[in-house]
Amino acid sequence: MAELELRNVTKVFETRNGPFVAIEDIDLDVEANTFVSIVGPSGCGKTTLLRIIAGLVDASAGSLSFEGRPITGPGPDRGVIFQNYALLPWLTVAGNLMFALETVFPKRSRAELQQVCERYIDLVNLKGSEDRLPRELSGGMKQRVGIARALAIEPRLLLMDEPLGALDALTRTYLQEEIEKIWEASRLTAVLITHDIEEALLLSDVVVLMSRGPAARITKLIPVPFKRPRSREALTGDPEFVRLKASLLTHLTQETRAIEEARNRT
Ligand SMILES: Nc1ncnc2c1ncn2[C@@H]1O[C@H](COP(=O)(O)OP(=O)(O)OP(=O)(O)O)[C@@H](O)[C@H]1O
Ligand SMILES: [Mg+2]
């Protein structure tokens, strides 16, 4: 049994125009300690799928389990990094981490949690910024707080919804390599949603392709063979990297073109 198992997961939203099938019959197995990326056209249902795995949204049909137990709601075994950071604006960097830590570990002493907090602030290179408020941070710094907060609760599954999507190219490249290093050290089971094909290839063991919606499905699983630790420089010149990148890009453009054609017909 895979660590994370999804069977026939379907989500139907009730809308003013009637039921809307966002994703349909999603089957996915994620093995322990692997890094999986999900790639698909905009609006196909990636966030919906991730929120279902996080337990923030219920599936309309199908079943899903983590470590053999059904997922029925959010839990500290799953850490989530959101695209829009989702920090509490009135709390400092350390405050945001401590809030999460105290919620997840109510029995641990404050001193112990403060140590954990410090360790993770260090890990994402935010030492010296502990007392700043989110509005005093750059986008890249805010996302590093988000990463530290998700990791500090020591989840066994890390869920990331386009964590670097809002960042400039340079910060993004830097944080991609940071995530690769942090993941190398922890080997957490991870699921990443991204629009960035190079990011998916740099970080993952498997890339999962989703078709366009409505009723989006998983169309392909692509194993990513490169040895770790990986670096962007080493991969860029690798012919297999170039080939995989081209094939992922073809899939995405085909799906996106099909969406436009469907739109033009209506
Ligand atoms: N609460 C909701 N009610 C109705 N429809 C919804 C709701 N949430 C999402 N949808 C619809 O479900 C589909 C999938 O949305 P979702 O946000 O999961 O897509 P996505 O793949 O994450 O898109 P993007 O790449 O742009 O982030 C979209 O058509 C969206 O309009
Ligand atoms: Mg999304």
Question: pLDDT class for 178, splitting at 50, 70, 90?
Answer: confident
Q: Which domains does the chain have, with CATH numbers?
A: 31-57+73-77+158-266 (3.40.50.300), 83-154 (no CATH)
Residues 134-147 have a mean pLDDT of 93
Closest CA to 186 of 39, 55, 32: 32
Q: Is the CB of 149 under 6 A from ligand 1?
A: no
Residue 39, pLDDT score: 95
Question: Kindly report the CA angle at 225 between 220 and 226, in degrees rounded to 5?
Answer: 135
Q: How far apart are CA 56 and CA 60, in angstroms?
A: 13
Q: In terms of pLDDT, which residue wins out, 266 or 139?
A: 139
Ligand index nearest the alpha carbon of residue 215: 1
Spatial CB neighbours of 109, under 8 Å, sequence gap ≥ 6: none
Residues 58-68 have a mean pLDDT of 97
Q: Which amino acid makes up residue 183?
A: W
> Considering the chain, what is the average pLDDT of its residues?
93
pLDDT at 103 over 80: yes
Q: 158 in the Ramachandran plot: left (φ > 0), alpha (ψ -120 to 50) or beta?
A: beta
Q: Give the model confidence (pLDDT) of 219-240 as tens digits.
A: 999 999 999 989 888 898 899 9
Q: What is the pTM of this model?
A: 0.93
Residue 258, pLDDT score: 79
Question: Kindly report the CA angle at 183 between 182 and 184, in degrees rounded to 5?
Answer: 90
Q: Is the CB of 172 under 6 A from ligand 1?
A: no
Q: Is the CB of 256 under 6 A from ligand 1?
A: no
Residues 156-181 have a mean pLDDT of 89
Q: How far apart are CA 170 and CA 164, in angstroms?
A: 11
Distance, CA 107 to ligand 2 centroid (Å)? 35
Residue 15, pLDDT score: 95
- Angle between helical axes of 110-123 and 93-104 (0-180°, round to 10): 130
Residue 110, pLDDT score: 97
Q: Which amino acid makes up residue 131?
A: D
Question: pLDDT class for 167, splitting at 50, 70, 90?
Answer: confident
Q: Is the CB of 41 under 6 A from ligand 1?
A: no
Residue 170, pLDDT score: 86
Residue with CA closest to ligand 1 atom 30 = 43
Residue 1, pLDDT score: 86
